[in-house]
């Protein structure tokens, strides 16, 4: 008796769940495509087979095999799912940009660019509002509130997030330690962390190798880690006690940190408030 046919996922979230369910059984190259697809959904939606294969560092035939593994007839069927996601996610954003373009003749170019970034910030914040899990947020707050010291880990584009958190924690009298020093003693700082402490690690694709290694090291030593990242396949998600997915919309290829800073600030204030109640 032949196996029943595989039913293709109906939307992006269903595909994501299917990829996660098979993350330990998929062949290495197919998992490589899956990781790229979840980290770069916009590129999957509108790229060519050749450009996507090159970016994901696989052969074009691997994309077809990946699509067929999840019940699609071919790669074009998989792309249609990603395009439907983008259309639903970006409709209001595109409307705003269209309005900006229509009025561009009457405005300075710099004003048009500013409005584009404002529109992207709105979209990022709306996505955060729609996806945040209140129970998960409460668990993260409780975990951090009972920590003796909170270690803050980030590099490059993510660094402003922990800088903001460190400033706020200091004002709120919450003990914290930024793990990113000019004198290069990060490892020495991390040796002070123990299971009575906690860490917040932030990194987005392409992930900062130093941040990933530090978060993994703390996790292996029993230090709880709360991660802010952008994909279920992020290496931070794999080692975190609690993690939050943050998808920042972009304008002209540039991404701000609107949603990330909003979540980080809320987390900081809630932790300080919870500590007052302990």
Instruction: DSSP for 41-73, please give it.
Output: HHHHHHS-HHHHHHHHTS-HHHHHHHHHHTT-S
Q: From the DSSP assignment, how many helices (H) and strands (E) are in the chain?
A: 13, 7
> What are 238's two structure tokens?
């794999």
Judge: domain 134-277, CATH 3.40.50.10490.
yes
- Reported as type and span, the H/E element at residue 123 is helix 109-131
What whole-number distance in Å separates Cα of residue 73 and Cα of residue 2? Answer: 18
pTM score of the predicted model: 0.68
Q: What pLDDT shows up at residue 147?
A: 95
Q: What pLDDT shows up at residue 209?
A: 84
Q: Are the C-beta atoms of residues 202 and 158 closer than 8 Å to each other? A: yes
Beta-sheet pairing, 198-202 with 176-178:
unpaired
Around Cβ 99, how many Cβ atoms within 10 Å? 12
> What are 13's two structure tokens?
């979230």
Burial class (CB in 10 A: 0-12, 13-18, 19+), 220: exposed
Which regions of the chain are under pLDDT 70? 1-5, 86-108, 181-184, 252-253
- φ and ψ at residue 176, rounded to 5 degrees: -145, 165
pLDDT tens track for 154-193: 998 899 999 999 999 999 999 999 997 666 678 888 889 9
Beta-sheet pairing, 176-178 with 225-229:
unpaired
- Neighbouring residues of 42: CB distance < 8 A, sequence distance ≥ 6: 82, 86
Q: What pLDDT shows up at residue 223?
A: 95
> What are 53's two structure tokens?
């294969």
What whole-number distance in Å separates Cα of residue 40 and Cα of residue 20? Answer: 16
Burial class (CB in 10 A: 0-12, 13-18, 19+), 112: middle
Q: What pLDDT shows up at residue 61?
A: 92
Q: Are the C-beta atoms of residues 154 and 209 closer than 8 Å to each other? A: no
Q: What pLDDT shows up at residue 243?
A: 94
Q: Where are the domains of the chain?
A: 12-82, 90-131, 134-277
12-82, what's its fold? Arc Repressor Mutant, subunit A (1.10.10)
Q: What pLDDT shows up at residue 254?
A: 75
Q: What pLDDT shows up at residue 93?
A: 47
Q: What pLDDT shows up at residue 99?
A: 52
């Amino acid at each position: 008796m032949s196996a029943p046919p595989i039913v293709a996922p109906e939307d992006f979230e269903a595909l994501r769940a299917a990829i996660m369910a098979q993350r330990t059984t998929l062949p290495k190259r197919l998992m490589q495509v899956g990781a790229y697809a979840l980290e770069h959904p916009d590129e999957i939606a509108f790229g060519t087979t050749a450009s996507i294969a090159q970016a994901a560092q696989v052969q074009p035939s691997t994309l077809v095999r990946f699509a067929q593994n999840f019940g699609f007839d071919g790669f074009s069927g998989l792309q249609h799912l990603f395009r439907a996601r983008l259309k639903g996610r970006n409709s209001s954003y595109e409307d705003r940009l269209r309005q900006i373009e229509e009025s561009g003749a009457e405005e300075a170019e710099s004003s048009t660019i500013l409005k584009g970034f404002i529109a992207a910030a709105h979209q990022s914040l709306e996505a955060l509002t729609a996806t945040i899990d209140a129970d998960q947020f409460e668990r993260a707050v409780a975990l951090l509130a009972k920590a003796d010291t909170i270690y803050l880990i980030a590099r490059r584009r993510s660094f402003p997030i922990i800088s903001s958190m460190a400033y706020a924690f200091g004002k709120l009298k919450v003990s914290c330690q930024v793990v990113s020093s000019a004198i290069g003693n990060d490892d020495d700082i991390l040796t002070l962390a123990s299971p009575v402490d906690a860490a917040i690690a932030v990194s987005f694709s392409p992930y900062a190798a130093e941040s990933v290694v530090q978060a993994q090291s703390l996790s292996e030593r029993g230090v709880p880690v709360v991660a802010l990242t952008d994909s279920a396949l992020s290496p931070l998600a794999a080692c975190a006690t609690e993690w939050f997915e943050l998808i920042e919309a972009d304008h002209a290829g540039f991404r701000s940190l609107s949603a990330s800073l909003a979540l980080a600030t809320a987390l900081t204030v809630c932790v300080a408030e919870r500590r007052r109640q302990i």
